[in-house]
Structure 1
Amino acid sequence: MNLLEREMQYPISQQVPVSLKRKIRSTHVKENILAYVFLAPSLIFFGIFLLYPMMKSIYLSFHLTDPRGRIAAYVGWDNFHTLFVSNAFWKGLWVTGKFAFLTVPAGIVLGLIMAGLAHARLRGIRVFQFIFSLPLAVSVGTSSVIWMMLFHPTMGMFNYFLSLIHIAPVQWLTDPSWSLMSISLMTIWMNSGFNFIVLLSGLQNISEDIYDSAKIDGSGPIRTYIKLIIPLLSPTLFFLFIVSMINSLQSFGQIHILTQGGPAGSTEVLVYSIYKEAFVNYQFGTGSAISIVLFLIILLLTFVQFFVVEKRVHYQ
């Protein structure tokens, strides 16, 4: 039996010197420590601004608090029971669902149209790309003030255009039948910049050979876009749908500035109910209970999208 055959009889781990094993183990430990050092700032901020508030909300949801937010009494599940028997909560949940239904699909469709137009190789298209992405650079507060002037019943541009075609002016923000639609319209515009940029980047990742093959087969631009490009964009659309859904369920700023949840609660989504319970009525326990329920709803919808909708996503 030669030397090679003799060495092959023993496991490789026994052939490695002990000093080399220690050196490798020490290197792995140092790499792990270095990784945690680089992750430490993110983990600290995550713990302070996300994990701790979440744990605090769970704790407060089982208690009554005084106006200063201090614990007054332990009530167990009473806050949740009060919530689920409240008509205001179910109305807020219904308004939140309608708001998401009005804003998410329309925002994605508008983003698809703008991205398709801006992706064309036309002269001066860079100008339109800048214009389409401009809403992303405007804050919620600024957008709300701009649209408040547009919605003004006497001096607003929308009612002015309606008067040109002899249609009676609309009370955009004070009529319960129009208020949620008005907020949704403003939200669609406000989110259009982000949707446009994400979808345009998805279009730019599609090979030009696919467009050339479609032209050779005699497919028109609209048919190519609907039948070929949109399925190839399904990973981007899936990501955008999840992000848009979460953002719509967490919308607050434009509602607070434009309608304050009114008129008659027609725009009072769950996030605004949390604000009103905690910082207007000083019921931090009930507000925390609503926030926990909203978190569970978002978590459930996200899981449903991952386990159901993702099956229709075509990854290249």
Structure 2
Amino acid sequence: MSLRSQKWKEVGLAYCFLLPSIVLFSVFMFYPMIRSVYLSFHLTNPRGIVAMFVGLENFIDIFRTGAFFESLQVTALFMLYTVPTGIILSLVMVALTHNKLKGMSLFQWIFSMPIVISVATGSAIWLLLFHPSIGMLNYYFGLLGIQPVFWLSNPSWALFSVSLMTIWMNSGFSYIVLLGGIKGISPEIYESALIDGANARRMFFNITMPLLSPTFFFLSIVSIIGSFQAFGQIHILTKGGPSHSTDVVVYSIYQEAFVNFQFGTASAKALVLFVIIMLLTVIQFRFAEKKVHYQ
């Protein structure tokens, strides 16, 4: 067998192994994306069947009304509530539990637990905690003499409440990623710093933080994308209310498609959201990556 034929055989074998993944990606990612692009240029009837070609009219309607910009503003605020707070909270937990003291493995297991809880289950738990009359949060507030808070029915508190639940839900993943990053730092670096007379605070800010920058970079990208795709907790806790105070972009897409049956407009919104997420990711790679230390 010639070298050329052997190479083609290896390539063919590789594609045979990749075929199941290619089929899954085609069915669940590429086809829906192509279909969304197609629907965004059309009007559809309540059954989702294309009724009329309208060109860019769906996109123009999105930017003509203020509803999309309001949803985008809510989404941006939700991102600001959840992403920095979640990363900082996970960093604090890692800083307190990454040492080898007795019993730290138990705390590491506890802090990692939210990663195994589904969005639906977590939302159901927090729905009980947020209950205005029988919820545990208002119960403890009552013991402190604080008036009950209408967490999910007050527009001033609703987005904060959903953000609080989201921070807890994402803390397990962030904690595990940061814990893995900090355990990947060579102990020899800390030993050298101790010999030079560095204290714990200086080692944390001058050694640990710079060497964790690739982990922070990864977490920020994943967390921002996740915040723009939030849906489950909002659908269960508030359904976009009250007064659209938690109506993020993804939930407005859901309402447009499966409540108003405007699949063309919903597809246009989804494509605009895709472009926004892609631009944010490119900006992060363009500017934030410069401050990342890979060595």
- For normalisation by structure 2, the TM-score amounts to 0.98
2:136 to 157, 168, 171: 157
Give 1:262's aligned residue: 241
Q: Distance in 2 between matches of 1:81 and 1:53?
A: 22
Secondary structure of 2:2 counterpart: helix
How high is the sequence identity, in percent, across the aligned residues? 57
1:151-180 superposed Cα distances (whole Å, 9 cap, x missing partner): 011111111121122111111000001000
2:53 to 74, 78, 84: 74
Give 2:262's aligned residue: 283
Q: Distance in 1 between matches of 2:199 and 2:31?
A: 54
Give 1:15's aligned residue: none
1:36-93 superposed Cα distances (whole Å, 9 cap, x missing partner): 1111111111111000000000100010000000001011111111100111111000
Give 1:8's aligned residue: none
2:161 to 170, 179, 182: 182
Q: How far off is 1:112 after superposition? A: 0.9
1:89-108 superposed Cα distances (whole Å, 9 cap, x missing partner): 11000000000111011111
Q: Distance in 2 between matches of 1:123 and 1:195?
A: 23
Q: Distance in 2 between matches of 1:67 and 1:24?
A: 58
1:109-188 equivalences in 2 (<5 Å): 109-188=88-167
2:221 to 242, 257, 278: 242
1:252 to 196, 219, 231: 231
Q: How far off is 1:116 after superposition? A: 1.6
The letter for the 2-side match of 1:40 is: L
Give 2:198's aligned residue: 219
Give 1:231's aligned residue: 210
The letter for the 1-side match of 2:257 is: A
Q: How far off is 1:213 after superposition? A: 2.2
1:250-301 superposed Cα distances (whole Å, 9 cap, x missing partner): 0000000000000000000000000000000000001001000000000000
Secondary structure of 1:172 counterpart: coil
Q: How far off is 1:111 after superposition? A: 1.3
Q: Distance in 1 between matches of 2:225 and 2:235?
A: 18
Aligned residues: 295
1:295 aligns with 2:274: yes
2:170 to 176, 191, 200: 191
Q: Distance in 2 between matches of 1:38 and 1:94?
A: 44
Give 2:252's aligned residue: 273
1:42 aligns with 2:17: no
Secondary structure of 2:174 counterpart: helix
Q: Tell me, which stretches of 5 or more residues in structure 2 are unaligned?
A: none
Secondary structure of 1:308 counterpart: helix
Tell me which moved more, 269-278 or 225-234: 225-234
Secondary structure of 1:144 counterpart: helix
1:186-237 superposed Cα distances (whole Å, 9 cap, x missing partner): 0000000000001111111100112222223333323321221011011111
The letter for the 2-side match of 1:47 is: S
Q: Distance in 2 between matches of 1:195 and 1:107?
A: 8
RMSD of aligned Cα (Å): 1.0
The letter for the 1-side match of 2:283 is: V
Q: Distance in 2 between matches of 1:70 and 1:182?
A: 38
Give 2:183's aligned residue: 204
Tell me which moved more, 145-154 or 221-230: 221-230
Secondary structure of 2:230 counterpart: coil
The letter for the 2-side match of 1:158 is: L
Q: Distance in 1 between matches of 2:191 and 2:161?
A: 42
Give 2:290's aligned residue: 311
Secondary structure of 1:69 counterpart: coil
Q: Tell me, which stretches of 5 or more residues in structure 1 are unaligned?
A: 1-21
Q: Distance in 1 between matches of 2:89 and 2:10?
A: 47
Q: Distance in 1 between matches of 2:202 and 2:143?
A: 37
1:81-96 equivalences in 2 (<5 Å): 81-96=60-75
